[in-house]
Amino acid sequence: MELVLALIPVATGLIGYAWGRHRHALKRKVLGREPIHVHIEQDPDIIYANDPNWVTFPYFFPNRSPDDLPSPPKGKCTAWWKWAEELGGEPSGLMELQVTITAWEDLRVIVDALRIEVVSTPTPPTGTTVVCPVGGADLVHEQLAVTLSEFASTVIPRAAGSAEVTKSFAFTLGPGESYRFSLSVTPSDEPIQCYEWVALLDLLVNNERKTVRVDNDGRPFVLHTQGFRDAHQWEGASWKPYAF
């Protein structure tokens, strides 16, 4: 009995040590979590919060005519994203995502590549595309320039400002470290009206290959292809055809 009592503190210490050493891995396994946490920011008003009003994104409204659309918000054109989302609008011709990935506290993660998978190319209903006109120079953040294609989407790293092609997309995250990058997504010139797509991050974790899917809360991202073609802009008190 005395031996058993003497061993209790030892066993408790070993259990505590094992829990402290492996608690993150056990938590991930129980909760089914990925080796990295991924946060997606889609609101240009946040992505370009400190930039001038030089950035705009077209939006497509299915089953809506210009007469069915209310007036857009005043101020910076980046504010249109939230307005469009509330009315059922979706990106058209161009979209940008800001992706932040963070490794767990007990993991070192090597990010090898980012791939794009086009899930489907549905034919959307008729609708209306709108755009907010802007002036000024083009603003280019450091980004991965994505061109969607039903057959072979491309991902090209580009530098801030010049948009020159840079080194390949690969880096290491230490325990608890974060990395942020932008995806600038456009359609190819295929005769397709809409892309549903996701991104795939290829990782090396503890010498094991893993792939993490980057999507819109479990759903694919959507990009219509009309862009600035046949778009409308708000002029005075009504929607007018967009003038290039």
Q: Which domain holds residue 64?
A: 34-241
Q: Do 17 and 104 belong together in one domain?
A: no
Place of tokens 């549905």: 122
Q: What single-letter amino acid sits at 25?
A: A
Same domain, 148 and 210: yes
Same domain for 108 and 134? yes
Cα gap 209→110, rounded to integer Å: 10
Q: Which of 177, 169, 110, 178 is nearest to 143 (CA)?
A: 169
**78 phi/psi in degrees, rounded to 5:** -65, -20
pLDDT tens over the chain, length 244 residues? 565 555 566 545 545 544 454 444 444 444 446 789 999 999 999 999 988 888 999 999 999 999 999 999 999 999 999 999 999 999 999 999 999 999 998 889 999 999 999 999 999 999 999 999 987 656 566 789 999 999 999 999 988 766 678 777 889 999 999 999 999 999 999 999 999 999 999 999 988 999 999 999 999 999 999 888 889 999 989 999 997 6
Q: What is the dihedral of CA 95, 129, 44, 132, to 10 degrees?
A: 130
Both 6 and 62 in a single domain?
Answer: no
Residues 155 and 176 in one domain: yes
Q: Which of 81, 106, 103 is nearest to 92 (CA)?
A: 81
Answer for the pair 233, 243: CB distance below 8 angstroms, yes or no: yes
Are 18 and 38 contained in the same domain?
no
> 């974060």: which residue's tokens?
178
Number of domains in the chain: 2
Are 14 and 91 part of one and the same domain?
no
Does 218 share its domain with 139? yes
d(CA 98, CA 46): 9
pTM (global) more than 0.85: no
